[in-house]
Amino acid sequence: MGESKQQVHNDRLEGHIGQNNKFIMLFWQITKNSCFASSGERRQRAHKFPPSLFQCPPRFLGFPQPAATTRPTRSAAIHFRSVSRSPGADLLLPRKDVSDPKTPFAFSVSSKFGVLPSPPLEVTKFNLFERTSAFGGSMEVTQILLNAQAVDATVRKHAEESLKQFQEQNLPAFLLSLSNELANNEKPVDSRKLAGLILKNALDAKEQLRKAELVQRWLSLDVTIKSQVKSCLLHTLSSPVPDARSTASQVIAKIAGIELPQKQWTELIASLLSNIHQLQSHVKQATLETLGYICEEVSPQVVDQDQVNKILTAVVQGMNASEGSTDVRVAATRALYNALGFAQTNFSNDMERDYIMRVVCEATLSPVEKIRQAAFECLVAISSTYYDKLASYMQDIFNITAKAVREDEEPVALQAIEFWSSICDEEIDILDEYGYSADSEVPCYYFIKQALPALVPMLLETLLKQEEDQDQDEGAWNLAMAGGTCLGLVTRTVGDDIVPLVMPFIQENITKPDWRQREAATYAFGSILEGPSSDKLIPVVDTALNFMLTALTEDPNNHVKDTTAWTLGRIFEFLHGSMLEVSVITHVNCQQILTVLLQSMKDVPNVAEKACGALYFLAQGYEDSSGSPLSPFFQEIIQSLLNVTHRDDAGESRLRTAAYETLNEVVRTSTDEIAPIVTQLLPVIMMELHKTLEGQKLSSDEREKQNELQGLLCGCLQVIIQKLGASETTKYGFMQYVDQIMELFLRVFACRNATVHEEAMLAIGALAYAVGGNFIKYMQGFYPYLEMGLQNFQEYQVCAITVGVVGDLCRALEDKILPICDGIMTQLLKNLSSSQLHRSVKPPIFSCLGDIALAIGENFEKYLIYAMPMLQSAAELSSHTVATDDEMLEYANQLRNGILEAYSGILQGFKNCPKSQLLMPYAPHILQFIDALYNEKDMDDVVMKTAVGVLGDLADTLGSHASTLMNQSVASKEFLEECLSSDDPSIKESAEWAKMAISRVVSL
């Protein structure tokens, strides 16, 4: 709901399972993206480095050369907070990435995965700048590349088709032509840049299976061809054209990412390091940039320590203040950031670590803004990667960051704040995982708590540096927002200790005539509401609540009102609800609060949006209450929210979306006594949806807005259906509308918009669950759209939701779903076998197999020969996969749980029927899977609960036939005992049931 001051972007990374009914390991690969904060203008100013900072040795013990300083690079393990936290694109300093999404075309490969025979070469001799292509000459390649960027769409399309045809017909010649174009200093910059872009895209892709295909395609090329391409790329590093050098650096890194793990191109790093001794500064700069990109692409395990030492030495030399070229120093500092993940050994050595830290800290005081910013980015990365090594440096780092926050340019100051936010993240994670125990596996050094008296005043100062239009800009990110975000993280880290340090600032500024001071005080108040105990906060909030309600309606400044509404939402989110012994919301003040919020929903869009957010959390607080003081005002609330959705400016500041989301929450948390009013709301929303389906001609922008509105309305209908369908007493009221609702949803599907399709599909799932077996009459009209959803690989979220709806249909229709099972099962098995479907959809597909088996019982027999081998293959793969990071571990557990749920549904579906013996051949595999999971010891609680339940299902369904197998199973003994002693009540309950089921067939 109401947008938080902190905006965090999380990208899910793609991967897939299998091809041709086999599950391949490639879908486990995780890609990473990193970029640098934006630079801004240079500032020429001399800085003196504090003489007390470090007493360091002149050389790294493991480094071959003593000179200068280096900065370590980043591996996939480094969590660089500024990228994920900072929403503003201006905060990121993107390298000149040749994978520009604006590129008007992309190339595809028609050959099968892993089988890419090289076509016969049309040209047998390839010199750097001579004829290399099927086009007849390098000049023709140049012109086609330029035409591919033409304004004229016809010219551009023809060029794109020519390039695509060339790639498909003669890949080696195609790659050589591109690399020659990039390397040729006589060619236009635009054609060289595009040649590099296409070359890079021929080596890499975001989607994991496509990336694996490109890797295999490159590796299968003739060695001579690859050598010539690489030679051109290395040659380009000496080009006087910066764009060509930068593009070549990235392409070299992509090839290194492919070949170095294969023990190929082993001479690359040595070759690059030899460039460092070149007198030409642009060659040094390009080489350092390339080394940084290589460290970004490859795993630290691929590069031996001797080479790491040499890379770090080269980078440190490049960072040295004696280096005359600013570009070289910037490239070196950025390269150090990328290389940090390779410096584990060096950071474990006190002298080498001291030297690296000294170099980085000196760079934060450079007179060049780009260098200072890049150096602070290094400190941010070090704070998360080497948190446990920072104790002896924290005092000096505080001095450096405080100076930057107070005096430096905004891009630099933002990174200085980011350092402390990153430290907070580390300490929050440690304390959440291990608590406050002194003997925890990972020690917490309490840096934030120690720095608190000095850190908090510094952060409070930043809150006064607002921008005039920040509330209207959803992507705004400035010192005030970064400081408030960091203050919130500090609060979560230290809890109650923050309150007495911040309250004087609030009290001093909350009534000042300057709006900046009032807004800063309000922002500070909102930032300290998550973390401290309710006992500490409630007395303070009780005192401030009336003042804030008045400010929300009467303060003359919209910035203050915006932040006040946001802060009220935070109060209701953290200090209101049935779980609290004492709530700040009472029957006495609830009506006053509601009146103020409804009035503020008429304010300017950004204030109204925050007021909707506050109302959202106010309603949410009554979710588990037997009665709600909002009930008498329910109709007024609903009407006010509907009025907001009809405002002419409802499209600004996410206002319409916020209003519908709040409407949904108010309906969801309403009491049964409100059901008649909710029933009256149903035809109102239906009419709104009907209006969007009328056949008027719309522009593309109008169509997009209409699609968004349809999605919101379908979501609202879903909530109403779930609310009214939850009990027999409330269900009767809406059953009269079911035919009309279903007709509307089918018309929505005809729009073929992915987002609307998603929301309508979810609503149909809710409708099927509410209607039950009678939903069968709608299946003839709905089935084509169900099938379409299952086939929608490109918009995989739609596919995932459709899989969930199949489960809803199974629960609603039970064996009535049998007539359409062949079609559904065929598509689900095809999806599991596809390498094109996003991997996140596959765990729910496995679960869905269990739903189908449970619904149709022994009729699932004909699918066993297809489903069980697939489950077995997936089980073997998932149980023997070592998760290298949290992302992979999370997915592995999702996959395991989906497989176990499939087994559970199949076993339960065959219970108490003669055909249960058909499952006996598969029982050993199921037990082996559970044994393997138990031995791996990396199951999460959800998997443990499902796994122990499957043990019970085996015994319950197969009876005495499972006795011998279960006696041999480690899982039925040690695993069961572990689950019985679990602290998780749900695991313990499942284990107790499983024990009873097993005890009937096995003597434990």
- Express each pLDDT in 208-254 by its tens digit: 778 888 999 999 999 999 999 999 999 999 999 999 999 999 999 99
Dig out the tokens for 585 from the structure.
């919301």
Q: What is the DSSP letter of 473?
A: -
Report how far Cα 917 is from the mean position of its chain's Cα atoms: 44
Cα 390 to Cα 443: distance, rounded to the nearest angstrom: 12
Cα 810 to Cα 828: distance, rounded to the nearest angstrom: 14
Cα 194 to Cα 99: distance, rounded to the nearest angstrom: 10
Cα 410 to Cα 44: distance, rounded to the nearest angstrom: 15
Quick check: 95 pLDDT over 80? no
Q: What is the DSSP letter of 148?
A: T
Q: What is the pLDDT of residue 45?
A: 29
The amino acid occupying position 435 is G
List helix spans (H) across 298-349.
305-319, 326-338, 344-347
The conformational region for residue 409 under phi > 0 = left, psi -120 to 50 = alpha, else beta, is beta
* Interval 770-780 mean pLDDT: 94
Cα 833 to Cα 796: distance, rounded to the nearest angstrom: 15
User: Tell me: the pLDDT tens digits for 603-639?
Assistant: 999 999 999 999 999 999 998 777 889 999 999 999 9
Quick check: 326 pLDDT over 70? yes
Place of tokens 């009535």: 816
Q: What is the pLDDT of residue 972?
A: 73
The answer to which of 212-216, 457-461, 470-474 has the lowest mean pLDDT is 470-474
Place of tokens 């023990």: 263
Confidence (pTM): 0.80
* Interval 942-967 mean pLDDT: 89
Cα 127 to Cα 176: distance, rounded to the nearest angstrom: 9
Contacts of 232 (CB under 8 A, 6+ apart): 128, 176, 179, 180, 182, 183
User: Tell me: the pLDDT tens digits for 522-538?
Assistant: 999 999 999 999 999 99
19 by DSSP, 3-state: which? strand
Q: What is the pLDDT of residue 610?
A: 97
* Interval 697-712 mean pLDDT: 87
Pick the closest to residue 769 from 737, 803, 814 (CA basis): 814
Q: What is the DSSP letter of 972?
A: I
* Other CB atoms within 10 Å distance of the CB of residue 11: 11
* Interval 908-933 mean pLDDT: 91
The answer to which of 26-30, 408-412, 815-819 has the lowest mean pLDDT is 26-30
Cα 677 to Cα 976: distance, rounded to the nearest angstrom: 50
The pLDDT confidence band at residue 131, using thresholds 50, 70 and 90, is very low
Average pLDDT, the chain: 84
User: Tell me: the pLDDT tens digits for 722-758?
Assistant: 999 988 888 887 899 999 999 999 999 988 766 678 8
CB 494 within 8 A of CB 467: no
Cα 943 to Cα 897: distance, rounded to the nearest angstrom: 5
Q: What is the pLDDT of residue 437?
A: 66
Q: What percent of the chain has pLDDT over 90?
A: 67
Q: What is the pLDDT of residue 139?
A: 56
- What is the location of CATH 1.25.10.10 in the chain? 533-670, 856-1004
The pLDDT confidence band at residue 883, using thresholds 50, 70 and 90, is low
User: Tell me: the pLDDT tens digits for 381-392?
Assistant: 999 999 999 999
The amino acid occupying position 371 is I
User: Tell me: the pLDDT tens digits for 409-433?
Assistant: 999 999 999 999 999 999 999 998 8
Residues 569, 571, 574, 579, CA torsion sign:
negative
Quick check: 93 pLDDT over 90? no
Angle between helices 796-813 and 754-771 (to 10 degrees): 10
Pick the closest to residue 321 from 685, 693, 46 (CA basis): 46
* Interval 456-463 mean pLDDT: 97
Quick check: 54 pLDDT over 70? no
Residues 216, 220, 221, 224, CA torsion sign:
positive
User: Tell me: the pLDDT tens digits for 279-324?
Assistant: 789 999 999 999 999 999 999 989 999 999 999 999 998 898 777 7
**Over 577-637, what HEC string results?**
CCCCCCCCCCHHHHHHHHHHHHHHCCCCHHHHHHHHHHHHHHHHCCCCCCCCCCHHHHHHH
Radius of gyration of the chain (CA): 31
Element containing residue 546 per DSSP (H, E): helix 534-554
CB 725 within 8 A of CB 770: yes
Cα 94 to Cα 90: distance, rounded to the nearest angstrom: 9
User: Tell me: the pLDDT tens digits for 490-505?
Assistant: 999 999 999 999 999 9
- DSSP characters over 56-119: --SS-TT-S--SS---PBP-TT---HHHHH---GGG-B----S--TT-S------SPTT--PPP
Quick check: 513 pLDDT over 70? yes
State the fold for domain 533-670.
Leucine-rich Repeat Variant (1.25.10)
The pLDDT confidence band at residue 580, using thresholds 50, 70 and 90, is confident
HSE (side-chain half, CA atoms, 13 Å) at 156? 9
User: Tell me: the pLDDT tens digits for 855-876?
Assistant: 999 999 999 999 999 999 999 9
* Interval 192-197 mean pLDDT: 94
Q: For the purposes of burial, counting CB atoms within 10 Å of the CB of 102, is it exposed (0-12), middle (13-18) or buried (19 or more)? A: exposed
Cα 65 to Cα 50: distance, rounded to the nearest angstrom: 26
User: Tell me: the pLDDT tens digits for 160-170?
Assistant: 999 999 988 99
User: Tell me: the pLDDT tens digits for 842-853?
Assistant: 999 999 999 999
Cα 975 to Cα 1001: distance, rounded to the nearest angstrom: 17
Quick check: 804 pLDDT over 60? yes
- For the chain, count helices (H), then strands (E): 43, 0
Q: What is the pLDDT of residue 679?
A: 94
Cα 141 to Cα 174: distance, rounded to the nearest angstrom: 10
* Other CB atoms within 10 Å distance of the CB of residue 977: 12
- In terms of pLDDT, which residue wins out, 348 or 31? 348
List helix spans (H) across 202-222.
208-219
Quick check: 583 pLDDT over 70? yes
CB 91 within 8 A of CB 82: yes
User: CA torsion angle for 945, 950, 955, 957 (degrees, to 10)?
Assistant: 130
- DSSP characters over 929-964: HHHHHHHHT---HHHHHHHHHHHHHHHHHHGGGGHH
CB 78 within 8 A of CB 381: yes
Q: What is the pLDDT of residue 122?
A: 32
Pick the CATH number of 856-1004 from 3.40.50.300, 3.40.50.970, 1.25.10.10, 3.30.360.10: 1.25.10.10
Q: For the purposes of burial, counting CB atoms within 10 Å of the CB of 71, is it exposed (0-12), middle (13-18) or buried (19 or more)? A: buried
